[in-house]
């Protein structure tokens, strides 16, 4: 059994971990351990000493925010493998640095990027997209052009979990009461359920997602919650959903969130312009529609304050993107 770490763990216990000892200088002690950010998947702590701070991240056999949902512990190894693959080409200014890795305790130590906020603020102020899109497309392209080793984790267990929430559950009847989110939302979801033609298209892309035939390293969860804004710089974090797949997935997901933030489909064209590399545009658009749908009528809701009519208009865009 590995050592569980959380905000209530004694500093002495944390300090005794070999991976932490390698980061601490002789005589250096932990002064605080506080929750860092609003992560869903893992325990993430900011560890502070008199002269330093770093991030301790540990996976659990479940989703930290929704502990009734099982999730593979090995996702932390995927995250470590992602950072390792990118670091082979030198330090990436948009990624935190790996300070240590303890596979036995499923712990990853990362550099502390400082006081930061994720970029979910775009849902309230879509003008921020213009400031983000160029760098985010450049980062995505850099990730996609990185040659991951043949041993890079297939991440099949986490892909299977993610598949359920992206390609399956939002499009069937389930126990998630959408009217508890917003009265009338369940009615808006009806055209997306029991729709064989729509489901066939989604199933085809879902099978592609689950396959292990891709050769492009992707982030796997490239949305505003995985982007940090610090002192006018943007960082990319939380690549635990990474695998060798297809670039269109990252780009479609990013595009979906730009559309939901701005209520305009122009975000897709903007991404294509800045990314400036050959991709399957139709596949990207369909993924954008699927991601929009699952964020509006699925479990993984966003801090998206929209009227029912505005959500209907977004779902209409999503439907068109999937079926076109």
- Sorted by where each begins, the domain ranges of the chain are 11-111, 117-323
**Angle, nearest 10°, between helix axes 281-297 and 196-210?**
110
Tokens representing residue 140 in the block? 């995505």
Give the whole-angstrom CA distance, residue 154 versus residue 78: 8
- Beta-sheet strands, E only, within 36-113: 43-49, 53-58, 98-102, 107-111
Confidence (pTM): 0.95
Parallel, antiparallel, or unpaired for β 117-118 and 107-111? unpaired
Phi first, then psi: give them for residue 159, nearest 5 degrees. Answer: -60, -40
Q: What is the pLDDT of residue 40?
A: 74
Is residue 166 scored above 80 in pLDDT?
A: yes
Q: What is the pLDDT of residue 197?
A: 94
Q: What is the pLDDT of residue 190?
A: 95
Give the whole-angstrom CA distance, residue 293 versus residue 315: 6
Q: What is the pLDDT of residue 90?
A: 84
Model confidence at 5, pLDDT cuts 50, 70, 90, reads: very high
Q: What is the pLDDT of residue 18?
A: 96
Is residue 188 scored above 80 in pLDDT?
A: yes
Q: Which helix (H) or strand (E) holds 64?
A: none
CA-wise closest residue to 146 among 235, 83, 215, 86: 86
Mean of pLDDT values over 1-23: 92
Q: What is the pLDDT of residue 199?
A: 95
Q: What is the pLDDT of residue 116?
A: 81
Mean of pLDDT values over 164-170: 96
Model confidence at 287, pLDDT cuts 50, 70, 90, reads: very high
Residue indicated by tokens 């996702």: 75
Tokens representing residue 78 in the block? 């995927």
Give the whole-angstrom CA distance, residue 268 versus residue 283: 12
- In order of 56, 65, 226, 259, the CA distances from 254 in angstroms are 27, 23, 10, 9
Mean of pLDDT values over 26-34: 94
Phi-psi sector, 114: left (phi>0), alpha (psi -120 to 50), beta: left
Q: What is the pLDDT of residue 82?
A: 98
Give the whole-angstrom CA distance, residue 87 versus residue 245: 19
The CATH number for 117-323, chosen from 3.40.50.170, 3.90.1200.10, 3.30.450.20, 2.60.40.1180, is 3.90.1200.10
Model confidence at 232, pLDDT cuts 50, 70, 90, reads: confident
The rounded radius of gyration (Å) of the Cα atoms in the chain is: 20
Provide the CATH number for the domain formed by 11-111 in this structure. Answer: 3.30.200.20
Mean of pLDDT values over 81-108: 95
Give the whole-angstrom CA distance, residue 79 versus residue 205: 24
Q: What is the pLDDT of residue 70?
A: 86
């Amino acid at each position: 059994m590995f050592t569980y770490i959380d905000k209530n763990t004694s500093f002495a216990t944390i300090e005794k971990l070999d991976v932490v000892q390698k980061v601490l200088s002789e005589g250096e002690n932990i002064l605080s351990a506080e929750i860092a950010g609003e992560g869903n998947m893992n325990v993430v702590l900011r560890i502070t000493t008199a002269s330093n701070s770093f991030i301790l991240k540990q996976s659990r056999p479940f989703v930290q925010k929704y502990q009734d949902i099982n999730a593979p512990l090995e996702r932390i190894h995927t995250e470590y493998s992602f950072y390792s693959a990118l670091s082979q080409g030198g330090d990436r200014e948009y990624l935190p640095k790996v300070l240590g890795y303890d596979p036995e305790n499923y712990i990853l130590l990362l550099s502390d990027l400082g006081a930061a906020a994720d970029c979910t603020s775009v849902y309230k102020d879509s003008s921020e997209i213009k400031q983000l899109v160029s760098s985010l497309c450049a980062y995505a392209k850099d990730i996609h052009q990185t040659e991951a080793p043949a041993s890079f984790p297939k991440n099949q267990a986490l892909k299977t979990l993610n598949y359920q929430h992206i390609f399956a559950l939002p499009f069937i009847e389930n126990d998630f009461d959408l009217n508890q989110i917003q009265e009338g939302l369940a009615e808006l979801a009806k055209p997306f359920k029991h729709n064989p033609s729509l489901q066939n298209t989604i199933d085809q892309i879902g099978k592609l997602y689950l396959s292990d035939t891709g050769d492009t390293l992707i982030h796997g969860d490239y949305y505003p919650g995985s982007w940090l804004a610090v002192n006018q710089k943007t960082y990319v974090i939380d690549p635990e959903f990474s695998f060798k797949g297809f670039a269109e997935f990252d780009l479609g997901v990013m595009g979906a969130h730009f559309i939901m933030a701005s209520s305009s489909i122009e975000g897709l064209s903007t991404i294509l312009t800045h990314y400036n590399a050959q991709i399957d545009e139709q596949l990207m658009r369909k993924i954008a529609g699927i991601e929009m749908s699952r964020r509006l009528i699925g479990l993984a809701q966003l801090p998206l304050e929209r009227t029912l009519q505005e959500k209907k208009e977004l779902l209409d865009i999503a439907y068109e993107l999937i079926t076109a």
